[in-house]
Amino acid sequence: MTQKIFIKTFGCQMNEYDSNRIYDTVKKIGFEKTDTYENANCYLLNTCHIRDKAKEKVYHEIGRVKKTFRSKQKPLVIIAGCVAQAENQEMLRREPYIDLVVGPQSYHKINDAILNHLQKKKKIEETEFDAITKFEYFSKIKNNAGNVSSFLTIQEGCDKFCHFCVVPYTRGPEYSRPFQEIIDEAKYLSEKGSKEIILLGQNVNAYSEGKNRLSNLIMEIEKIKDIKRIRYTTSHPKDMTEDLIDVYKSSQKLMPLVHLPVQSGSDKILKLMNRKHTIKDYFYIFEKLKKINSNIEFSSDFIISYPGELEEDFNNTLSLIEKINFINSYSFIFSPRPGTVAADLDLIEKNISVERLEKVQNKLYENQINRNRLFKNQIIDVLVENLTDDKTHTFGKSEHMTSVIFNGNKEHIGKIVPVKIKEFNRTTLFGELVKDLSKKVA
């Protein structure tokens, strides 16, 4: 009898990639994916530890599962991801409903852990750092995501130790996957129908394997005929090297949106955060890329109210947002994380932080809507991802990653089509397919 597994994913794109690879892995021992957790035999929570309350969220979710399964056979409950790594044994002690705890570097052991548990009913915790073995194992199992736009993890972990961040502790040291293994995975994804590859890493532009860097990888993936678009995320300004900047001159497929988190507009705060880059460095990258292609836009992550942030530092962040004209960005109030250098620093008052966050978000939203307004009555290229939920329209992404909804049909899925933009809101462009140009569909 096939068993059904349901995975709920929190956190970053790397967790999404991992969840898909877990589905590919557990298939080998007879588990099939289900989208409704109520009929699952196995409930896996892929967790994120980046901000406060991450742990509580997990116990809350488990409480919900417990309730649903009160009168049915209990599913196998697995906690994976960064909270699993950070909390390990403690989770099994605190919540006996949990059966297995598996950290992000141990997914190659998940089948053995499940089988072992099913046979011996033993609670198991696997949280060793072993990225090499994990990726070696994954490379033997095909990535069957097959989405129009697919994630491909090329690098994992972080050696930078920004003072606010748990990633170096939950994902371990930087590790770059072998070049050829990545190319093979990209080719396979293309054979399965992917048209866009999003290269992933906690520090994706720190990718380094022998002489190969992210720039070589992009140019090699560019040779795969049916891959039409390439993106990468998340980058660190310090690793935005000249060869990577130059790829924007030579690549035809690299998209013109650079997600380059800056965190703060104040050099003082960047230093306190241990970011290892200055605002001047950031402008250098910005200006160089804009010179290569003025259509390139920037998006970023911001941490608001980092301990020590004065009004003046905060105003520098606002003015940076104005100067760079960031779009599609994320902003969060600083959240102290256990075990990090900034864990015990004095916090800025909550009402000040909320006010600052609101100001930053309003500025970012304003940029986004102004940017979208420019597209009204313009014809833009859209990579079509799927039908909308009600099946009446199609949706896809612009070159700058903005969602576009238009009157296409399922024939258009996986193609790049011209769409004339008629309306817009902050997050989405709405348009009509340009029929007489559709012969040019890629």
Report the C-alpha gap between 327 and 370 in whole angstroms. 10
Judged by CB under 6 A, the stretch of 48-56, 235-243, 257-265, 411-419 that binds ligand F3S is 48-56
Q: Which of residues 198-237 bind ligand SF4 (CB under 6 A)?
A: 202-203, 236
Query: 4 vs 171, which CB is nearer to ligand SAM?
Result: 171
Q: Taking a C-beta distance cutoff of 8 angstroms, is the pair 48, 81 a contact?
A: yes
The neighbour count for residue 51, using CB atoms within 10 Å, is: 16
- Binding letters toward ligand SAM, positions 190-229, x by CB under 6 A: ------------xx--------------------------
Residues 267, 96: Cα–Cα separation, whole Å: 47
Residue selected from 44, 48, 91, 167 as contacting ligand SF4 according to rule CB under 6 A: 167
| 168 binds, options ligand F3S, ligand SF4, ligand SAM, none, Cβ within 5 to 8 A by partner type | ligand SF4
The C-alpha atoms of residue 77 and residue 73 are separated, in whole angstroms, by: 12
> Which residues, at least 6 apart from 139, have a Cβ–Cβ distance to it below 8 Å?
181, 184, 185
Out of ligand F3S, ligand SF4, ligand SAM, none, which partner does residue 335 contact, by CB within 5 to 8 A per kind?
ligand SAM
Q: With binding defined as CB under 6 A, does residue 11 bind ligand F3S?
A: yes
Q: Which does 332 bind (CB under 5 to 8 A by kind): ligand SF4, ligand SAM, ligand F3S, none?
A: ligand SAM
Q: Contact between 105 and ligand SF4 (CB under 6 A)?
A: no
Q: Which CA distances in Å does 174 have to 96, 153, 161, 207?
A: 33, 13, 11, 9
132 vs 136: CA distance, rounded Å: 6
Q: Is 169 in the site for ligand SF4 (CB under 6 A)?
A: no
The least CB distance from residue 52 to ligand SAM, in Å, is: 8
Query: Should residue 81 be labelled a site residue for ligand F3S when binding is judged by CB under 6 A?
Result: yes
- Residue 202 as a binder of ligand F3S (CB under 6 A): the answer is yes
259 counts as binding ligand SAM under rule CB under 6 A: no
Tell me: does residue 162 bind ligand SF4 (CB under 6 A): yes
Please tell me whether residue 103 binds ligand F3S under the rule CB under 6 A: no
Q: Which of 139, 197, 173 shows the shortest CA–CA distance to 13?
A: 197
Residue from 4, 5, 6, 15 in contact with ligand F3S (CB under 6 A): 15
How far apart CA 89 and CA 81 sit, in angstroms, is: 14
Chosen from ligand F3S, ligand SAM, ligand SF4, none, partner binding at 161 (C-beta under 5 to 8 Å by type): ligand SF4
Q: Do 253 and 222 meet the contact criterion of CB atoms below 8 Å apart?
A: yes
Distance of alpha carbon 219 from alpha carbon 428, whole angstroms: 30
The site partner of 51 among ligand SAM, ligand F3S, ligand SF4, none (C-beta below 5 to 8 Å per kind) is: ligand SAM
Q: By CB under 6 A, tell whether 198 contacts ligand F3S.
A: no
> Does 51 engage in binding with ligand SAM (CB under 6 A)?
yes
Query: Measured between alpha carbons, how far is 353 from 333 in angstroms, rounded to an integer?
Result: 7
- CA–CA dist 331, 304 (Å, integer): 7
Amino acid making up residue 58: V
Half-sphere exposure of 436 (CA within 13 A, CB side): 0
Question: β-pairing, 149-153 with 124-126?
Answer: unpaired
Tokens of 122: 């033993």
Position 10 contacts ligand SAM (CB under 6 A): no
Binding region for ligand SF4 (CB under 6 A): 158, 160-162, 165, 167-168, 202-203, 236
Binding region for ligand F3S (CB under 6 A): 11-12, 14-15, 48-50, 81-82, 166-167, 170-171, 202
